[in-house]
Structure 1
Amino acid sequence: MVLEVDIEAFAAARERGALVVDVREGFEFAAGHVPGARWIPLGMLAESLADLPRGRAVMVICASGNRSKAGAVLLTRAGFDVASVQGGVAAWSLSGRDLTVRTS
């Protein structure tokens, strides 16, 4: 079972230094993402485990929460302290928080 957190718990974890991993596709990430999020598409997450810090909370986010659950399962099985963000980037944006848009 994967831990899921709502937007308020996610925002608090992010402020405490949790790593935010966005598992959406590149065009989605470029269109708008949580500031400071690290982009690792879900299909590349398994091969990117060595690049993720151990001993730091990881919050996995996607568009609405479905892909992030899959990513959180993978990371949980690999021994990470991880949670999936309910509602994803859509919920983040709907809560009135800013998104970063990649312009290049």
Structure 2
Amino acid sequence: MKEITAKEVEQLLQNGNSLNIIDVREVEEVASGKIPGAVNIPLGLLEFRMNELSKEKEYIIVCRSGGRSARATQFLESYGYNVTNMTGGMLAWEGPVE
């Protein structure tokens, strides 16, 4: 499983990179703030909504601490998606939130 740190994601965004970020936290968790531009697909709905994702794109998967995003990353990887887990999750995120 590929991994990236919250700091590396923040630096990529600061450098103007366009990232596809999927936040797998529950809706009420995301209400307290998410990485700007991240799309919320709660982990429990991922298998029903993965048709919204493209196997041609690369995705960074985020949750609160990195556990759920690791499960989501493994799940999507098993279906051939190009995904990377953000270690530490939003607890490690120091960048802006929306």
What residue is the counterpart of 1:4 in the other structure? 3
Unpaired segments ≥5 residues, structure 1: none
State percent identity of aligned pairs. Answer: 30
Q: Give the structure with the higher percent strand.
A: 2
Q: Distance in 2 between matches of 1:12 and 1:82?
A: 18
Indicate how the Cα distance of structure 1 residues 34 and 75 shifts in structure 2: closer, same or farther if over 3 A, else same: same
Q: Distance in 2 between matches of 1:71 and 1:17?
A: 21
Q: Distance in 1 between matches of 2:87 and 2:33?
A: 17
What residue is the counterpart of 2:60 in the other structure? 59
Unpaired segments ≥5 residues, structure 2: none
Listed one character per residue, the Cα deviations across residues 22-57 of structure 1 (whole Å, up to 9, x for unaligned) are 000110011110010000000000111111122111
Matched length: 96
What CA RMSD, in Å, does the superposition of the two structures yield over aligned residues? Answer: 1.4
Contact 1:62–1:88 (CA under 8 A) maintained in structure 2? yes
Q: Under a length normalisation based on structure 1, what TM-score does the superposition of the two structures give?
A: 0.84
